[in-house]
Amino acid sequence: MSFLIVGHTHEDIDAKFSEVSRLLNTKDAEYFDDFLNVLKNAERITQLFDVKSWIEGDLNKVDHITQPLHFKFVSVDGGVKVFYKGVQSQPWSALNGNFLNKAPSGKPEILKPNFSKIEIDKNVKQIKALKLIFKKQDSTQKWLDF
């Protein structure tokens, strides 16, 4: 498993966003429903699992994990050994221990939405400032109602 350096992601998802960009050059999407109509097979996600809370009690503290970009998981004697390295040319280093002290039990809960960091007044001001760029008369009101 590899993580690319920030700003250097050239993965399948980038190709998909390129397709979305091309579609939006030919079709207007001023509101979420418009956007979903532009995308083929788009699906609105209404729930997310709180994997962080579910797994954090079973995670071991792992030091120096901010730099490695490549991870290798190897089955060894019925367990899993983890190796890591920074850039591709570096040798693999064994991770002492493991990410998990045990497999998490049960299932993750549904994550409850947290809207506390949304600055409503600032967003309303921005929506009103953008009013002139909307082609559809009801777009501004849809965003204000949102």
What's the pTM value of the predicted model, to 2 decimals? 0.53
How far is it, in rounded angstroms, from Cα 135 to Cα 27? 12
**Longest C-alpha distance within the chain, in Å?**
66
- What is the DSSP track for 38-51? HSTT-------B-H
Residue 37's CB: how many other CB atoms inside 10 A?
12
Q: Residue 128's Cα: distance from chain center in Å?
A: 29
Which residues 6+ apart lie within 8 Å of 116 measured at CB?
Answer: none
Structural domain boundaries in the chain? 1-44, 119-146
Give the pLDDT score at 53.
Answer: 92
How far is it, in rounded angstroms, from Cα 10 to Cα 99? 27
How far is it, in rounded angstroms, from Cα 32 to Cα 109? 27
Per-residue pLDDT of the chain (146 residues; tens, 9 = 90+): 455 555 555 566 677 778 888 888 888 888 888 888 888 777 878 899 999 899 888 877 766 556 667 888 888 887 778 888 887 888 888 887 777 778 888 999 999 988 899 999 999 999 999 999 998 889 999 999 98
Residue 84's CB: how many other CB atoms inside 10 A?
19
Give the pLDDT score at 82.
Answer: 84
Q: Residue 130's Cα: distance from chain center in Å?
A: 27
Give the pLDDT score at 65.
Answer: 59
Give the pLDDT score at 107.
Answer: 94
Q: What is the CA radius of gyration of the chain?
A: 22
